[in-house]
Amino acid sequence: MTETARPLRRDAQRNRERILLAAHDAFAARGFAATLDDVAQLAGVGVGTVYRRFPTKEALIEALFADRLEDLVSLAEDALALPSGWDGLTMLLRRSIGMHAVDRGLRDAALCIGIDKHQFANVGEHLLPLVQEIFDRAHAEGSLRADVGIHDLPIILATVTDLARHTPPGRPEIFRRFLELIIDGLRARPDNGDLGPAVTQADVEAIVHDCVPPIDSRRRS
C-alpha cells in the first residue's frame, strides 16, 4: 500500500503545479474574471481535479498570489532605502505599474490589498505602512505635492493599468507615456492648482468594487 500511495502523491503534486501554472496564465490574461473552469481547460485536467486541490476560486487566488504580493513588499522596502522620498515614490510607481500592466491578476490582487479581502491581510499589514512612509518622506522633503496622499495610489494604479489593457498590440508601452505625465503632475511646484477634496478610503473601495471582478468564494465560480 505504501508503494501504491507514493505515485498518487507525486501525481497530485504534478496536478497542483500544472493547475497553478495554468492559473497564472488565466489570471494574467483575465484578472479575477477568470474562473476555475478556465484554469481546468488551460491545465488540461477535469474541473473536478481543480476543485479537489482548490475548493474555491478564493483559495486558488490566495495560493497563486500570496508570494507574488510579497514581491511588492520587497519593492517598497527597496524604494524606502533610496536617498530621497521622491526617488522611492517614482521607483515604486514605475516598477509596480510595470508589473501590473502585464499581469491583470496581480493588478487585481494589488488593488484588493486592504479592501476587505482577508486572504491578503498579512501582505497589506506589511506593505501599506511602507508605502505610507514613502509618501511621508516625499512630503517632508517638499518634492510631492501636499494634496496627494496614499489613497491616490490605487486610483493611479487602476487608471494606468487599465490603459495598458486597451493599448494597441503594436504600442504596448503607451501606458508608460501617461504614467510619466502623472508622475510629472505629482511633483510639488509653486503653481500647483487645487485638486479639490482628497480621495478617501471609501472612494478607493467604490472604485475597486467597479474595476476588479469580485472573488466568488462559493464552490462553483
pLDDT digits (tens, 9 = 90+) for 174-193: 999 999 999 999 999 999 99
Which range, of 1-5, 27-31, 86-90, 200-204, averages the lowest pLDDT?
1-5
- What confidence score (pLDDT) does residue 82 get? 97
DSSP character for 38?
Answer: H
**pLDDT at residue 114 tops 90:** no
Cα angle 110, 111, 116; round to 5: 105
**pLDDT at residue 1 tops 60:** no
**pLDDT at residue 5 tops 80:** no
- What confidence score (pLDDT) does residue 38 get? 94
* Mean confidence (pLDDT) of the chain: 88
**207 vs 144: which has the higher pLDDT:** 144
- What confidence score (pLDDT) does residue 119 get? 64
Where do we find the cell 464552490? 219
Mean pLDDT, to the nearest integer, of 6-15?
68
C-alpha 101/C-alpha 149 separation (Å) is 22
pLDDT tier at 170, thresholds 50, 70, 90: confident
C-alpha 88/C-alpha 84 separation (Å) is 6
Helix 57-80, helix 85-101: angle, nearest 10: 150
Summarised one tens digit per residue, pLDDT across range 78-89 is: 999 999 999 999
